[in-house]
Structure 1
């Protein structure tokens, strides 16, 4: 983190690299995938190239996210730079800055992340504002909230209507995660069936199995899961 002490101008950059264990696991998975795809078998080359292209795209996105990730704080608000774009939030649009436990963290380096919530209940992750990059994350956020109070023009007080929006959007995010999970299951099921068709000399339909089926599962299940989430969310009166 660079800045002027308790001043409002601050930049949170990545200064601490990922643990060696995570790097070893990541490269082991990538290397094993490439090795399996390079082995001679009955799978057509075009399918292997497609899978390698997807793997390369994910790897490039991950590297850019890590290297370009930056949170910048100033008198005008907060700016977040990701892999390909920069998002900005003015202080009067920011409802809260919250430190939350990382879900399904496993052996992740960062166990606590910081999220920016706006007045509409949307949240935005703040890159490098976590307990892996900052030794005392909670103290840093408390200090930042104190210094930023003058620029917001209002106190950091809870508002029931915004809290209700936050809970509703959290339910919708959970619904989207569940729909994506089922879409991925449909994708891998289609991939397994596709490979079986190729090996047995059948007529595979990759467009239907790898694209249409997962998209159909996502499109059908997302409204259902969101409806269930909306019913569980507390209504604001």
Structure 2
């Protein structure tokens, strides 16, 4: 492994983003349909407020989905979420591990990746999972090798 392996970016784009937004949009539409079908004792102002909130929520998801993700480069790991960006230098990253999820739903990943930090704690590597990364196990092996190479000192991960 070497410098040719970085940068690596994990984001939801293309048809996967469209599929996610379609699923979420259909859920919002269903909520709006139910809201406006409520009995007359629920005021139109409450219905309008709930509708506006759901439309704003959908707009927020539509804006943040292509923006959020994980970037790995020579300096470390960058996690871009909907509200903030966090950066961890390789010296701060102790290990990269995968963990299974038990949801069983087809639109939820079965396995996700975490960066375990030297100071304690772990951070989810956004969109680095078996749902969005085609050869997930091989990709994790590459990321682990990059981490070991960049962390320096040949430190073994502390488990």
TM-score, with structure 2 as normaliser: 0.79
Q: Counterparts of 1:87-236 in structure 2 under 5 Å?
A: 87-155=86-154, 157-159=156-158
1:19 Cα deviation (Å)?
8.9
Partner of residue 7, structure 1: 5
Q: List runs of 5+ in structure 1 lacking aligned partners.
A: 164-237
Q: Which protein is richer in strand relative to its size? A: 2
Higher-RCO chain (CA-CA 8 Å, sequence separation at least 6): 2
1:36 aligned to which of 31, 34, 45: 34
* C-alpha distance after superposition, 1:130-167 (max 9, x if no partner): 222222111111122213323212446342xxx5xxxx
The RMSD of aligned alpha carbons is 2.8
Separation in 1, partners of 2:52, 2:104 = 28
Q: Is the 8 A contact 2:17 2:65 kept in 1?
A: no
Contact 2:11/2:70 (CA < 8 Å) preserved in 1? yes
Larger Rg: 1
**Structure having the larger proportion of residues in helix:** 1
- 1:97 touches 1:114 (CA, 8 Å); kept in 2? yes
TM-fit CA distance, 1:128: 2.5
Aligned residue pair count: 157
The 1-side partners of 2:13 and 2:116 are apart by 25
